[in-house]
Chain A
Amino acid sequence: MTRVKLLSLMTAAVVLSGWTGVKAKDVKWGKVIKGVAKTASAVKGINEEDEIKIGRAAAAALCDRYGLVTEKTSLRYMNLVGKAVARRSERPGLTYRFGILDTNEVNAFAAPGGYVFVTKGLLRSVRNESELAGILAHEISHVTCKHVIKEIQKSKLIGAGLDFASAVAKNPEVLERAGDLSVKVLMKGLSRKDEYEADREGTALVWKVGYDPRGLKRVIERMGKKQARKVKIFSRIGKTHPPASQRVKRIGKQLKSARIIENPNWPGLETRFRENLADLDF
Chain B
Amino acid sequence: MEIILRKRWRICLLTAGLALLFCASGGWNPAAGSWLDKVKETVKKTVEKKQPKTKTGVTAVRGLDESEDAGEGARDYEALKILEAIHITDLELDAFLLEGGIKP
Contact = CB atoms under 8 A, between A and B. Distances in A.
B45 interface: no
B72 interface: yes
A18 B70 contact: no
Given A15-B18, A156-B65, A187 B70 contact: yes
A247 to B, nearest CB: 22
B38 interface: no
Given A75-B83, A183-B71, A184-B70, A15 B22 contact: yes
Contact of B18 (A12, A87, A154): A12
A84 B93 contact: yes
Interface in B41-86: 58-59, 61-66, 68-77, 79-80, 82-84, 86
A19 B22 contact: yes
Interface in A247-269: 265, 267, 269
A79 to B, nearest CB: 5
B76 A63 contact: yes
Nearest to A156: B58
Range class of the B interface residue count: 35 or more
A278 interface: no
Contact of A60 (B27, B75, B86, B101): B75
A12 B65 CA distance: 36
B82 A75 contact: yes
A126 B15 CA distance: 60
B74 A184 contact: no
A contacts with B: majority SS: helix
Contacts of A59: 80, 83
B40 interface: no
Contacts of B19: 11, 15
A42 to B, nearest CB: 14
A97 B86 contact: yes
Contacts of A65: 70-71, 74
A151 to B, nearest CB: 6
Interface of A: 4, 7-8, 11-12, 14-15, 17-19, 21, 56-57, 59-61, 63-65, 67-68, 70, 75-76, 79-80, 83-84, 87, 97-99, 115, 129, 151, 154-156, 176, 179-181, 183-185, 187-188, 209-211, 265, 267, 269, 272
Interface of B: 7, 10-11, 14-15, 18-19, 21-22, 25-28, 58-59, 61-66, 68-77, 79-80, 82-84, 86, 88, 90, 92-93, 96-97, 99-104
24 contacts: A8-B14, A11-B14, A11-B18, A12-B18, A17-B27, A60-B75, A60-B77, A60-B79, A63-B80, A64-B75, A65-B71, A76-B88, A80-B92, A84-B97, A97-B80, A97-B83, A97-B84, A129-B100, A180-B72, A180-B73, A184-B64, A187-B69, A188-B68, A267-B101
Given A65-B74, A272-B99, 6 more contacts: A18-B25, A67-B79, A70-B79, A97-B86, A184-B66, A269-B101
Q: Which 8 pairs show the lowest CB-CB distances between chains A and B?
A: A18-B27, A60-B75, A210-B102, A64-B76, A63-B79, A63-B76, A68-B79, A19-B25
